[in-house]
């Protein structure tokens, strides 16, 4: 059965509620157990090498600090283009992810440094809390796009979701999507650490997809827990089922707490054995991270040279 996403719900509260009611519940114990089982997969030698390069190319290299400066943003742009300056065979990362006011700095520096093909993602809609009027969210998004962002990472209104005002959550996503048009991809951040239950995660995932998300993203990185394995599992099941319903593949972006190569490889195993191999590319899976990149590079050097070079052999930015 192939329908378009829009046919799942017309956006009215009754229609949204009716649609979400058709979703199967999630058993928390079972989801935790499945994620824990998949974490036991042993990824070695050639498969590890493949996974490390794939993970690097999926990273949304992120800096989202009050202390961000032009210099800091330029530094991570350089890192994004050439993650390991001693080894040109390392792929570039998936994207740069910054606050609204750093978009133009990042875009300009990437363009001037050979990073034309690396997109800039802007966190938007009063990130991370989303507590602002629609006008503010609109301006936030429009600014980012005007400055060269081709990916918008918006947050949903968790307060509205938890109070049952699903129509508000839905219509905001629809509206921000309309601002993105064909100029920017829309990633919708669910902030699963505030939604808490897996049933909520599944519902919010479908709500976002039906409203036009190109990606569903776990977290802002400002709330713990962030991208836990069972939450990513539930979201991957959601995109898999949404594809079954509509024929449309939506991407998934875990963000927050993924710091080691082991963590990243576990994410790729979840993708492979849940959504499937079709999702194993940067078009459909991204990892929001900063420290992760250096650990991947250290593991990559170890596989290449046979020994750990240590932290002084990767660049700190």
Partner 1 sequence: MTFEYSSAPESKAIVTIDPVYKLFIGGKFVAPKGGKTFTTINPATEEVLAKIAYAEKSDVDKAVKAAQEGLKVWSKMAPSERGKYLYRIARIMQERAREFAVLETMDNGKPIRETRDIDIPLSAAHFFYHAGWADKLEHAGVGSNPKPYGVVGQIIPWNFPLLMLAWKVAPALATGNSVVLKPAETTPLTALLFAQVCQQAELPAGVVNIVTGDGATGAAIVNHPGINKIAFTGSTDVGKLIARSVAGTDKGLTLELGGKGANIVFEDAPLDETVEGIVNGIFFNQGHVCCAGSRLLVQENIQDELLEKLKRRMSQIRLGDPLDKNTDIGAINSREQLEKITELAISGDTEGAERFSAACTIPAKGFWYPPTFFTGVTQAHRIAREEIFGPVLSVISFRTPQEAIEKANNTPFGLSAGVWTDKGSRILWTAKHLRAGVIWANTFNKFDPASPFGGYKESGWGREGGRHGLAAYLKGAK
CB contact set of 142 (below 8 Å; sequence gap of 6+):
179
Given the complex with partner 1, which of 10 and 278 has the nearer CB atom? Answer: 278
Q: Which two tokens stand for residue 78?
A: 């350089």
Q: Does 54 bind partner 1 (CB under 8 A)?
A: yes
**Count of CB atoms situated within 10 Å of the CB of 193:** 21
Q: Which range, of 41-49, 117-125, 256-264, 304-312, touches partner 1 by CB under 8 A?
A: 41-49
**Which of 96, 268, 284, 296 forms a contact with partner 1 (CB under 8 A)?**
268
For position 273 contacting partner 1 by CB under 8 A, the verdict is: yes
153 catalytic? Reply is yes
Binding of residue 40 to partner 1 (CB under 8 A): yes
Give counts: helices (H), strands (E), the chain.
Answer: 13, 8
> Which of 2, 12, 50, 65 touches partner 1 by CB under 8 A?
50
- HSE of 205 in the Cβ direction (CA atoms, 13 Å)? 33
51 binds partner 1, rule: CB under 8 A? yes
Q: How far is CA 129 from the centre of its chain?
A: 17
Distance from C-alpha of 278 to C-alpha of 69, rounded to nearest angstrom: 37
Q: Of 17, 48, 168, 259, which lies in the binding site for partner 1, with binding defined by CB under 8 A? A: 48
Interaction of residue 196 with partner 1, rule CB under 8 A: no
* Tokens coding 265: 């490889």
143 is catalytic: no
Task: Establish whether the linkage from the previous residue to 200 is cis, with ω within 30° of 0.
Answer: no
**Residue 291: φ, ψ to 5°:** -65, -25
Catalytic residue among 137, 177, 187, 217: 217
* Nearest residue (CB) to partner 1, 223 versus 280: 280
Question: Should residue 280 be labelled a site residue for partner 1 when binding is judged by CB under 8 A?
Answer: yes
Q: Is 253 a catalytic residue?
A: yes
Peptide bond before residue 67 is cis, with ω within 30 degrees of 0: no
CA distance 178 to 166: 18
Told to check if 134 binds partner 1 by CB under 8 A, we report no
Q: Which is nearer to partner 1, 26 or 149 (CB)?
A: 26
Round to whole Å and give the CA distance between 35 and 234. 9
- Binding marks (x or -) toward partner 1, 224..263, rule CB under 8 A? -------------x------x-------------------
- Paired tokens of 167: 């129509």
Residues 10-39 that bind partner 1 (CB under 8 A): 24-27, 29-31, 33-34
CB closer to partner 1, 130 vs 282 = 282
Q: Which residues are marked as active site?
A: 153, 217, 253
Residues near partner 1 (CB under 8 A) are: 24-27, 29-31, 33-34, 40-48, 50-51, 54, 237, 244, 268, 272-273, 277, 280
């Amino acid at each position: 059965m192939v329908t378009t996403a829009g046919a799942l719900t017309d956006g009215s509260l009754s229609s949204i509620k009716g649609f979400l009611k058709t979703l199967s519940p999630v058993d928390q114990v079972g989801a935790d157990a499945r994620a824990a089982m998949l974490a036991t997969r042993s990824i070695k030698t050639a498969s590890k090498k493949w996974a490390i390069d794939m993970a690097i190319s999926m990273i949304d290299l992120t800096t989202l600090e009050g202390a961000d400066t032009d210099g800091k943003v330029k530094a991570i742009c350089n890192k994004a283009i050439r993650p390991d300056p001693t080894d040109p065979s390392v792929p570039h990362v998936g994207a740069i992810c910054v606050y609204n006011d750093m978009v133009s700095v990042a875009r300009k520096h990437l363009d001037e440094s050979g990073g034309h093909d690396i997109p800039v993602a802007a966190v938007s809609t009063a990130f991370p809390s989303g507590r602002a009027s629609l006008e503010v969210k609109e301006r936030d998004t429009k600014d980012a796009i005007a400055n060269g962002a081709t990916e918008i990472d918006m947050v949903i209104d968790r307060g509205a979701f938890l109070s049952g005002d699903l129509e508000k959550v839905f219509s905001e996503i629809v509206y921000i999507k309309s601002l993105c048009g064909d100029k920017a991809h829309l990633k919708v951040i669910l902030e699963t650490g505030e939604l808490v239950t897996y049933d909520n995660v599944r519902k919010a995932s479908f709500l976002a997809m039906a409203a036009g998300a190109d990606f569903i993203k776990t977290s802002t990185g400002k709330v713990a827990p962030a991208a836990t394995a069972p939450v990513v599992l539930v979201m991957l099941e959601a995109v898999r089922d949404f594809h079954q319903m509509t024929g449309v593949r939506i991407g998934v972006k875990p963000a927050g707490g993924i710091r080691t190569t082991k963590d990243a490889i576990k994410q790729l195993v979840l993708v492979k054995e849940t959504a499937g191999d079709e999702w194993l590319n940067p078009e459909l899976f991204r990892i929001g991270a900063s420290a992760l990149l250096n650990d991947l590079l250290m593991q990559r050097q170890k596989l290449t040279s046979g020994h750990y070079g240590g932290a002084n052999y990767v660049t700190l930015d």
